[in-house]
Structure 1
Amino acid sequence: MLRYLAALIFLIATPLMATEEQVVLGMSQNRVAITANFDGSEILIFGAVKRETAIPEAHPLEVVVAVSGPKLPVVVRRKEKRLGIWVNTDSVEVDAAPSFYAVATSGPFKEIVKDIEDLRHKISIPRAIRSVGAPMDVKNAQEFSEAVARIRTDNGLYQVLENTVEVDQQTLFNTSVKLPANLTEGDYLTRIFLTRGGDVVSQYETTIDVRKVGLERWLFNLSRQQPLVYGLLSLAIAIAAGWGASAAFRFIRQGG
């Protein structure tokens, strides 16, 4: 009986402990419009920690901000040199890889987030990529997920921004995340984690809406809904551009 009573007390107390510190979040913008001349954007993320009790003294407060683009499957192929020629050999479909992923932290990631917490919440880049069910005959299947992370990091789509979250008096925090020009449309999940001693003590989630607008939206919809018309329009524009360039060149030669 005492054992069940203790378990009941624990279940009742756990939500109370989990909400001792809560995030009150703000962002400079929660919508990003992709236009014809879009060259990237910078999102300022700031917030405060709401408390019902005094600031805990055991461990300092740390903050982790993770921004994730839409998760899509991607096929990764391994190339090997055979008879002097590079050819595709093995291939693996990574089930879900964020099109964009940025992790900003108030300290070194390994020091402020325990591995078990990273595994539970999938905060780091390797944990954010989901790859299961690789063919049995493929060796070192994990290398394919690592290749996705490496390539997208080189392209600026994956970012690890350690020590970029400023925390003031364990109450206020702010950081900024740069979104590159080559963004994928969709909802960008933004997660805020408060940690103490490596343990996640609170979590908050919101989204950033990234959409094409204007001419970009019209062309995107046309390419999906009427691909034949889109192809003919692209051909007509290419011909007109070529003719215009040729006419301008002849005019310049005649003028000279």
Structure 2
Amino acid sequence: MAASLLALLLLLAGTPARAELVLSLSKARVTITSNFTGDTLVLFGVIDPGVVAPSASPDVVVTVRGPRESFTTWRKERRFGLWVNVDGRSFLAAPSYLAVLANRPPADMADAETLRWEQAGLDNNRLLQRIGSDYADVVPQDPFRQAFLRVKQAQGLYFERPAGVEFIAPNVFRATIPIPGTAPIGAYEVVVKTFNGGALAGQGTLPLEVAKVDFEQTVAITAQDYPWLYGLATALMALTVGFIANIAFRRD
């Protein structure tokens, strides 16, 4: 961790044209094995003092988005003694993982319009919905959107931490990014935006990959590329285990 911070400071010092924001991740690839229960990454950032107003302190919002997927949220009603789905909304290309880390609540950094435009904050991230034949994002108070967020938060895949970014020097910050054991595999994006005086001051992006390795990767590739072979192998394995169990525990 200290080595990553030292390398970041050396990179900043050796850059001829100073960037507004220099970023570094403790590692850019998380590998998932059979005993994977989660991981933690550390993001370091250095803000160019030239973009910070002398009378103000910079604010930082870190947004981590996982692979895009489509989801459907249903509304249930009780009819004839049964709970049935009566209405639903499809969320298209929504992040499968969404983490928002900041040094203070984003609502205190800028006005609502700026935060919405920059997607700073969990409620300000755009979640495209299909409503009939239309495609649009909706207000944060939309019940389907709220239900979708509750489900993802309960799974530990969506969260916001207003104190998740720590300044370790006036213009140097760090953030701890948790990767849960249920994190989807694929390409992630780490987006960092800095605000100063209520306006966007700088931004940067880093790639992140969550991948399976060894036997787990082989199984995942086989299931995706050869689903019929994967299904056949799974069925044969289940039959074999059942046959062995029957012999081992049968009563004569």
Shorter chain as normaliser: what TM range?
Answer: 0.7 to 0.9
The residue type equivalent to 2:186 in the other structure is: G
Match of 2:131 in 1: 134
- With over 3 angstroms needed to count, the CA separation of the structure-2 counterparts of 1:132 and 1:232, relative to structure 1, is closer
* Alignment map for 1:24-39 (pairs within 5 Å): 24-39=22-37
Paired residue for 1:68? 65
Distance across 1 between alignment mates of 2:173 and 2:158: 22
Provide TM-score, normalisation by structure 1: 0.81
Q: CA deviation at 1:124?
A: 2.2
- CA offsets 1:167-187 (integer angstroms, 9 cap, x no match): 133211011011111122221
Identity of counterpart residues, as a percentage? 28
The residue aligned with 1:13 is none
**CA deviation vs aligned residue, 1:180-206 (integer Å, no higher than 9, x gap):** 111222211101111123322100111
- 2:40: which partner in 1? 42
Q: Which residue does 1:176 correspond to in 2? A: 176
Question: In the TM superposition, what is the alpha-carbon distance from 1:56 to its structure 2 partner?
Answer: 2.4
Kindly tell me: are residues 174 and 21 of structure 1, through their superposed partners in 2, closer, same or farther at Cα, counting changes over 3 Å?
same
* Equivalent pairs, count: 231
> 1:126, 1:187 → 2: CA distance?
23
1:43-58 alignment to 2 at 5 Å?
A: 43-51=41-49, 53=50, 56-58=53-55
Q: Residues 52 and 196 of structure 2 are in contact (CA less than 8 Å); yes or no, is this contact kept in structure 1?
A: no
Cα distance in 2 between the residues matched to 1:177 and 1:205: 15
2:6 matched to which residue of 1?
none
AA aligned opposite 1:227: P
TM-score by length of 2: 0.82
Give the direction of change, closer, same or farther, for the CA distance of 1:149–1:55 in structure 2 (3 Å limit).
closer
Gaps of 5+ in 1: 1-18
After TM superposition, give the deviation of residue 37 of structure 1 in Å. Answer: 2.2
- Deviant stretches of 4+, over 6 Å: none
What is the aligned partner in structure 2 of residue 15 from structure 1? none
Using the TM superposition, name which of 157-166 and 218-227 deviates more: 218-227
Q: Which residue of 2 aligns with 1:235?
A: 235
In 2, Cα distance between equivalents of 1:181 and 1:239: 29
Deviation at 1:73, TM superposition (A): 1.8
The residue that corresponds to 1:22 in the other structure is 20
Tell me the amino acid that sits aligned with residue 123 of structure 1: A
Q: Deviations over 1:57-92 (max 9, x none)?
A: 221111111101112221221111112110010111
Deviation digits for residues 206-250 of structure 1, max 9, x if unmatched? 110112221122111211222221111111222333344445546
Shift of 1:143: 1.7
Q: Does the 8 A contact of 1:75 with 1:94 survive in 2? A: yes
- For 2:85 and 2:144, the matched residues in 1 are separated by 13
Residue segments in structure 2 that go unaligned for 5+ positions in a row: 1-16, 134-138
User: Equivalent residue for 2:219?
Assistant: 219
| 1-structure distance, mates of 2:216, 2:32 | 7
**Cα gap change, 1:222/1:114 in structure 2, threshold over 3 Å: closer, same or farther?**
same
Q: For the structure 1 residues 228 and 21, does the alpha-carbon distance in structure 2 shift closer, same or farther, using more than 3 Å as the test?
A: closer
Give the secondary structure class of the aligned counterpart of 1:148. Answer: helix
Structural RMSD (CA): 2.6
Please give the secondary structure, in 2, of the residue aligned with 1:223. Answer: helix
Letter in 2 for 1:45: L
Change over 3 Å in CA distance of 1:86–1:168 after alignment to 2: same
What do residues 112-154 of structure 1 show as CA deviations (whole Å, max 9, x unaligned)?
2432222112232233242244128xxx993212211111011
Q: Provide the residue aligned with 1:12 in structure 2.
A: none
SS in 2 for 1:66: strand
Per the alignment, residue 6 of structure 1 pairs with none
Please say if residues 23 and 204 of structure 1, whose CA atoms lie closer than 8 Å, have aligned partners that are also in contact: yes
Distance across 1 between alignment mates of 2:144 and 2:246: 47
